[in-house]
């Protein structure tokens, strides 16, 4: 399925009045995981700015021990500080990387902004080296724009 085909499905999920916010987030994770073959782990982390930590929200994929990540640590923690997308073509080449699983080969993290504030991020792991393109970044920015409407 193409990104263009998935976009209206994301919007439909976010507009579903029968689902709670967390159920919507989980449904989006499931949709992305099932629709894009190289999206092997899809999840959301949310920021606690007082403690400068990220907290794992809904996700689909292998269990992770990384339920709380300090700002600045790993790819997610760096995005919490930089407010910029971060694409890692090969996690083995990254110094500040928190390994979730030996099967993860690459990662993309895109911040989630609500009213100009970085409240969290969508995090995607892939079992493939270097699968992410500019199209993935633009698509995930769209996903986060739709998710931001829930806050």
Q: How far apart are CA 39 and CA 54, in angstroms?
A: 21
**Total length of the chain:** 151
pLDDT digits (tens, 9 = 90+) for 1-33: 899 999 999 999 999 999 999 999 999 999 999
> What does the DSSP 8-state code read for residue 29?
H
Give pLDDT tens digits for 62-112.
998 899 999 999 999 999 999 999 999 988 887 666 666 678 899 999 999
Tell me the residue range of the domain where 133 lies.
Answer: 3-148
Q: How many domains does the chain have?
A: 1
CATH code, domain carrying 36: 3.30.450.40
Spatial separation of the C-alpha atoms in residues 130 and 49, rounded to whole Å:
31
Beta strand 106-114 pairing with 68-70: unpaired
């Amino acid at each position: 399925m193409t990104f263009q085909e998935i976009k209206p499905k994301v919007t439909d999920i976010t507009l579903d009045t029968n689902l709670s916010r967390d159920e919507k987030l989980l449904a989006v994770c499931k949709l992305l995981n099932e629709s894009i073959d190289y999206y092997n782990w899809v999840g959301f982390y949310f920021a606690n700015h007082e403690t400068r930590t990220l907290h794992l929200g809904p996700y689909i994929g292998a269990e992770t021990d990384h339920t709380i990540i300090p700002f600045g640590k790993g790819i997610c923690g760096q995005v919490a500080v930089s407010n910029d997308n971060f694409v890692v073509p090969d996690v083995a080449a990254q110094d500040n990387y928190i390994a979730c699983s030996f099967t993860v080969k690459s990662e993309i993290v895109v911040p989630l902004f609500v009213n100009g504030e970085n409240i969290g991020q969508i995090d995607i792991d892939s079992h493939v080296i270097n699968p992410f393109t500019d199209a993935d970044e633009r698509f995930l920015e769209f996903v986060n724009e739709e998710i931001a409407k829930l806050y």
